[in-house]
Amino acid sequence: MHYSFPPDVQELVASQMASGRYTDEDEVLREALRVLYEVDHDAAAIQEAIDDWANGDEGLPLDQAFDEIRTEFRRKPSA
């Protein structure tokens, strides 16, 4: 499918396609939306943690937090 983008966005899309990583505009848009979703999800989780902390939640000990991060990282497929 062909999209009508403003020139600056078209240049970014074309640059991504020229990198060889994407074959068409659909792939570029799909990846951009996936990343946007992840960023929004991560920002919401961070805000929730800040709100919890502001309401008196002391959080996790640092070593436990790192263990949870490592566990989560191992679950995610590599790009």
- Cβ pair 68, 45 in contact under 8 A: no
Q: Which pLDDT score, from 0 to 100, does residue 73 have?
A: 87
- Cβ pair 35, 27 in contact under 8 A: no
Give which of 16, 11, 46, 15 is closest to 30, Cα–Cα.
16
- Cβ pair 24, 17 in contact under 8 A: yes
Per residue in 8-54, pLDDT (tens digit) is 999 999 999 999 999 999 999 999 999 999 999 999 999 999 999 99
Q: What is the pTM of this model?
A: 0.67
Q: Where are the domains of the chain?
A: 7-75
